[in-house]
C-alpha cells in the first residue's frame, strides 16, 4: 500500500509531500509526476515515482494499486479538466484504491461560479465510482494574492471587481496539512470538508494591510466587471477565457461565495489557519 499524490510537483503537491515525509517513511509515498526529471528530487529522497499525465489516460494504467490511499489534486487546465479527471477516477476505480481524496472547491455542490463546474462534475464521477472518498473543498489560497504583489506595489492599488465581498483564504500549506491528515489518519472516508481560513477579509482590508506593511498608501479600487476584464486582457495580458473566469470569481466573492468560515480547516489540522497578514509579510521578505 502506498500513499499516492498526483500533481506532486505542483505548489500544493510539494507541501503535501513534505508533510507526508514527517508522518510516514519515504518508501510508502508515490509521487505522480509528468517526467522523471521533474521528480528527480523526490527519487533522491527515496520516494517512488509514477510517470503519468492526466491528458494521456493510457499513462495512468498501473499508477494506482489496490489498497492505495490517493490524493487526487485537481488539474490546472481550466476547460480540460472533465476528461482529465474522468481518466484519473476510472484508473483509481479499476485499481480498487482504498481512498480517493479529491481537492475540490469551497461549497462545490451549490457553487454558482464557472470555476466550480468542473469540480462539480468530478465529485459526481467519484460518487458514482463507489470508491471510498474524501472531498477536500478548498477555499482560496493566500498565495493567490501574495504571489501577485508586483503590479499592486507598482500602481499602489488593489484592483478588483468584488465590491465589499470577503474572502476566507488560508495558506497553501494549511490546505496541504489537511490533505496529510486525511491520508494518514482513519475515520475520514466518505466525508466532505468545507475548508477555508478562520477569518474572512475584504479587499479594502487587504489593501490596508499592504499599506501598513509597506509604508505606502495602497488603495482598493473596485471597478465594474467589464473594466476589470479589460485590465486583465490588456495590461495583464491574460487570455480572454481566463480573464472572464477571474472576473466571474470576483462576482462570486461579491455574492459571498468564498467568505464561509466553517472552522473545519483549523479543526482538521489542529491549529489556527495562516492569516493573510502573515502571508503578506512572508511575500514581502521574498
Label residue 185 exposed, middle or buried (CB < 10 Å: 0-12, 13-18, 19+): exposed
Radius of gyration of the CA atoms of the chain, in A: 19
**CB 86, CB 31: distance < 8 Å:** no
Q: Would you call 26 helix, strand, or coil by DSSP?
A: helix
Domain-wise residue ranges, the chain: 3-138, 140-169+197-260+274-286
> What pLDDT is attached to residue 79?
78
Instruction: Report CA 264 to chain centroid distance, whole Å.
Output: 16
**CB 32, CB 50: distance < 8 Å:** yes
Predicted TM-score (pTM) of the model is 0.96
Q: What is the DSSP string of 136-186?
A: EEE--BTHHHHTTHHHHHHHTEEEES-TT-EE--B-HHHHHHHHHHHHHSS
> What pLDDT is attached to residue 78?
84
Can you tell me which residue has the cell 479587499? Answer: 203
Asked whether the domain spanning 140-169+197-260+274-286 has the same topology as the one spanning 3-138, the reply is no
Task: Specify the DSSP element, H or E, that contains 257.
Answer: none
> What pLDDT is attached to residue 235?
77
Helices 11-21/172-184 angle, 10° precision: 50
> What pLDDT is attached to residue 76?
85
The Cα 200–Cα 42 span in angstroms is 35
Give the closest residue to 99 by CA, choosing from 190, 30, 195, 17: 190
The Cα 102–Cα 144 span in angstroms is 20
Q: Where are the alpha helices (DSSP H) in the chain?
A: 11-21, 40-43, 81-95, 117-129, 143-146, 149-155, 172-184, 203-214, 225-233, 240-254, 264-269, 276-285
Label residue 271 exposed, middle or buried (CB < 10 Å: 0-12, 13-18, 19+): exposed
The Cα 139–Cα 259 span in angstroms is 9
Taking only the tens place, the pLDDT of each residue in 33-50 is: 999 999 999 999 999 999
> What pLDDT is attached to residue 198?
98
Can you tell me which residue has the cell 509515498? Answer: 29
Domain made up of 3-138: CATH architecture:
3-Layer(aba) Sandwich (3.40)
Exposure string (b/e) for 139-170, b if CB count within 10 Å is 16 or more?
A: bbbbbebbeebeebeeeebbbbbbeebbbbbb
- Give me the residues paired with residue 157 across strands: 219
CA distances from 56 to 37, 62, 68, 91, 280 (A): 18, 13, 21, 12, 38
The Cα 242–Cα 77 span in angstroms is 10
> What pLDDT is attached to residue 58?
96
pLDDT one digit per residue (tens) for the chain, 286 residues = 799 999 999 999 999 999 999 999 999 999 999 999 999 999 999 999 999 999 999 999 999 999 999 999 999 888 789 999 999 999 999 999 999 999 999 999 999 999 999 999 999 999 999 999 999 999 999 999 999 899 999 999 999 999 999 999 999 999 999 999 999 999 999 999 999 999 999 999 999 999 999 999 999 999 999 999 999 998 788 899 899 999 999 999 999 999 999 999 999 999 999 999 999 999 999 8
Domain made up of 140-169+197-260+274-286: CATH architecture:
Alpha-Beta Complex (3.90)
Amino acid at each position: 500500500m502506498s500513499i499516492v499524490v498526483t500533481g506532486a510537483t505542483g505548489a500544493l503537491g510539494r507541501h503535501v509531500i513534505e508533510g507526508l515525509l514527517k508522518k510516514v517513511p519515504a518508501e510508502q509515498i508515490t509521487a505522480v509526476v509528468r517526467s522523471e526529471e521533474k521528480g528527480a528530487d523526490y527519487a533522491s529522497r527515496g520516494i517512488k515515482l509514477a510517470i503519468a499525465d492526466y491528458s494521456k489516460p493510457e499513462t495512468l494504467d498501473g499508477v494506482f494499486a489496490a489498497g492505495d490511499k490517493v490524493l487526487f489534486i485537481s488539474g490546472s487546465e481550466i476547460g480540460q479538466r472533465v476528461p482529465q479527471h474522468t481518466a484519473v477516477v476510472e484508473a483509481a476505480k479499476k485499481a480498487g484504491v482504498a481512498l480517493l481524496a479529491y481537492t475540490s472547491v469551497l461549497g462545490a455542490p451549490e457553487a454558482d461560479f464557472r470555476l466550480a463546474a468542473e469540480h462539480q462534475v468530478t465529485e459526481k464521477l467519484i460518487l458514482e465510482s463507489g470508491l471510498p472518498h474524501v472531498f477536500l473543498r478548498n477555499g482560496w489560497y493566500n498565495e493567490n494574492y501574495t504571489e501577485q504583489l508586483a503590479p499592486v506595489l507598482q500602481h499602489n492599488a488593489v484592483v478588483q471587481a468584488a465590491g465589499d465581498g470577503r474572502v476566507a483564504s488560508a495558506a497553501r500549506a494549511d490546505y496541504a496539512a489537511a490533505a496529510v491528515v486525511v491520508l494518514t489518519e482513519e475515520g475520514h472516508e466518505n466525508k466532505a470538508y468545507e475548508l477555508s481560513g478562520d477569518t474572512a477579509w475584504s479587499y479594502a482590508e487587504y489593501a490596508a494591510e499592504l499599506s501598513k506593511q509597506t509604508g505606502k498608501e495602497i488603495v482598493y479600487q473596485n471597478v465594474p466587471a467589464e473594466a476589470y476584464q479589460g485590465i486583465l486582457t490588456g495590461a495583464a495580458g491574460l487570455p480572454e477565457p481566463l480573464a472572464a473566469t477571474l472576473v466571474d470569481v470576483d462576482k462570486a466573492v461579491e455574492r459571498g461565495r468564498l467568505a464561509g468560515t466553517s472552522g473545519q480547516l483549523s479543526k482538521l489540522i489542529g491549529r489556527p489557519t495562516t492569516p493573510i497578514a502573515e502571508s503578506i509579510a512572508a511575500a514581502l521578505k521574498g
